[in-house]
C-alpha cells in the first residue's frame, strides 16, 4: 500500500521515533553502506548473494531483453528456505497500478473512457469513499466540489489532489491538476468508474481484459483458494513471518497477486506497443527535475541524456516489489519479494541489468522505512 503503510507503522510506534535523536549517531554508523562488488557474478549468483545478505526469504525476477522475456531467476535468503518455483505468487503491492492503468488506456482506446473528462461523469450516483478500501463501511459520500475537476488523466499521473490514503472523510491535499502527489485514493476513485462503465467488479474485468489475453494464469486482484495455494507468506526485514492482509476485495492500487513470469508477460506486451508507450510517456508531470523524475500515465519516468525508463515500486505489509524498463532498448526487469527488505535489492539489480546512473534511487519516494531501519540496525523487529 506504499507510503501510507510506512506512515501508519511509524505512528503506531511513535515511542521508537522519539528515541531516534538519542540513537542517531549509532544508527548512522550501523546503517553505513555495506555494498559488495557483484559485477563479476552472473545474475543468479548476484540475486542469491543479495537475498542472503538482506534476509529476503523469497525473490523472483523476470528479465526482459530487447522486448522479449529472457529469463526467470529466483533465490531465497532464509533458513529453512521456503518452496520457491515458477508458480510462486507474491502480493505485487503498487505494481498493481501500472497493470490497471494499462487496462484503463485500453478502455480509452475503445472510446469507453476519456482521459480529460472528469471521473465523476462515469459515476452518476456520486463517489462514496471507504475509510478502509477493503471494507464497505464506514464510508462517506464525497461532496467537495473539487471532485468534479479530477480527470482520468489526473488520476493516472497522480495530480488528482487527493491524499495517498484517508482513514476518515476524504479531504483534498491540493487543487486537482496543480501538482504531483502520489495517491492510492485516486486510483480507487478511477476503479469505481471502470466498474461502472464495464458493469463488472475490478477482478473480473481485469481477468477477462488483461490476464486471460496475456496468459497471466497465476494473477488476480483478489485473494482466493487458487492464489492461496501458491502465495508466499510475507516476512519482516529479519526474515521472520509477518501477518499480512488477505486481500479479498479488489483494489486497483495494491491488491494484485502475481508471479514474476506473469508480470514479465505484461511488461513484454507493454514494451511492444509503441503507441501505448508514447501515450504513457508523452506529457509527464514533473516530480523532481533535479533527478530527472516525472510521472506519466500509470508509470514513473526517469530521464537521462541517452534514455528514458518507466518504473514503479511496491510496498505492502510483508512484501516489496520493483519494476523498471528502458523505453529505448526494451530491456528491464520485474522483481517480486515476500520481504520488507525487498527494496534493498532494487538498486543493485538495476545496476546489474540496466547499468548506469539511476537517480531515482536518490528520490525521497524510496525513502528510509523507519520500521525496517529499527529492525536492521537495532534488531527491534516490530
Q: Residue 114 forms beta bridges with which residues?
A: none
Q: What is the pTM of this model?
A: 0.90
> Is 50 exceeded by the pLDDT of residue 191?
yes
Percent of the chain with pLDDT over 70: 90
Mean pLDDT in residue range 341-364: 96
Residues 6+ apart with CB under 8 A from 52: 75, 77
Look up the CATH number of domain 3-378: 3.40.710.10
Residue 372, phi-psi category: left (phi > 0), alpha (psi -120 to 50), beta (remainder): alpha
Mean pLDDT in residue range 300-318: 95
C-alpha 304/C-alpha 307 separation (Å) is 6
pLDDT tens digit sequence for 229-256 = 999 999 999 999 998 788 999 999 999 9
pLDDT tens digit sequence for 357-378 = 999 999 999 877 888 888 888 8
C-alpha 188/C-alpha 196 separation (Å) is 12
Mean pLDDT in residue range 342-363: 96
Cell of residue 45, nine digits: 549468483
Mean pLDDT in residue range 343-362: 96
> Is 70 exceeded by the pLDDT of residue 17?
no
> Is 60 exceeded by the pLDDT of residue 13?
no
Amino acid at each position: 500500500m506504499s507510503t501510507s503503510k510506512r506512515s501508519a507503522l511509524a505512528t503506531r510506534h511513535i515511542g521508537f521515533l522519539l528515541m531516534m535523536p538519542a540513537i542517531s549517531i549509532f544508527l548512522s554508523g550501523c546503517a553505513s553502506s555495506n555494498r559488495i562488488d557483484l559485477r563479476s557474478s552472473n545474475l543468479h549468483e548476484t540475486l542469491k548473494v543479495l537475498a542472503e545478505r538482506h534476509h529476503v526469504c523469497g525473490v523472483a525476477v523476470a528479465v526482459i531483453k530487447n522486448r522479449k522475456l529472457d529469463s526467470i531467476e529466483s533465490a531465497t535468503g532464509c533458513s529453512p528456505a521456503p518452496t520457491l518455483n515458477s508458480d510462486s505468487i507474491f502480493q505485487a503491492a503498487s505494481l498493481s497500478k501500472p497493470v490497471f492503468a494499462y487496462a484503463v488506456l485500453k478502455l480509452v482506446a475503445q472510446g469507453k473512457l476519456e482521459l480529460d473528462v472528469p471521473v465523476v461523469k462515469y459515476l452518476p450516483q456520486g463517489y462514496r469513499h471507504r475509510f478502509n478500501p477493503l471494507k464497505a463501511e464506514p464510508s462517506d459520500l464525497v461532496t467537495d466540489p473539487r471532485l468534479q475537476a479530477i480527470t482520468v488523466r489526473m488520476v493516472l499521473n497522480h495530480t488528482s489532489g487527493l491524499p495517498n490514503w484517508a482513514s476518515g472523510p476524504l479531504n483534498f491535499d491540493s487543487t486537482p491538476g496543480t501538482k504531483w502527489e502520489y495517491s492510492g485514493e485516486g486510483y480507487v476513485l478511477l476503479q469505481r468508474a471502470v466498474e461502472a462503465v464495464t458493469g463488472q467488479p475490478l477482478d473480473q474485468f481485469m481477468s477477462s481484459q488483461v490476464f486471460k489475453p496475456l496468459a497471466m494464469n497465476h494473477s488476480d486482484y483478489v485473494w482466493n483458494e487458487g492464489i492461496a495455494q501458491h502465495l508466499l507468506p510475507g516476512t519482516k526485514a529479519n526474515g521472520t513471518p509477518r501477518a499480512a492482509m488477505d486481500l479479498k476485495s479488489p483494489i486497483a492500487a495494491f491488491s494484485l497477486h502475481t508471479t514474476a513470469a506473469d508480470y514479465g508477460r505484461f511488461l513484454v506486451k507493454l514494451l511492444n506497443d509503441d503507441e501505448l508507450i508514447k501515450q504513457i510517456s508523452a506529457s509527464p508531470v514533473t516530480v523532481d527535475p533535479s533527478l530527472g523524475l516525472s510521472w506519466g500515465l500509470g508509470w514513473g519516468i526517469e530521464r537521462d541524456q541517452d534514455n528514458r525508463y518507466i518504473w514503479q515500486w511496491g510496498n505492502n505489509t510483508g512484501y516489496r516489489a520493483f519494476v523498471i524498463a528502458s523505453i529505448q532498448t526494451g530491456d528491464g526487469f520485474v522483481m517480486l519479494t515476500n520481504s520488507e527488505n525487498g527494496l534493498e535489492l532494487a538498486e543493485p539489480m538495476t545496476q546489474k541489468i540496466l547499468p548506469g546512473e539511476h537517480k531515482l534511487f536518490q528520490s525521497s519516494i524510496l525513502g528510509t522505512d523507519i520500521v525496517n531501519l529499527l529492525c536492521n540496525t537495532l534488531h527491534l523487529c516490530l
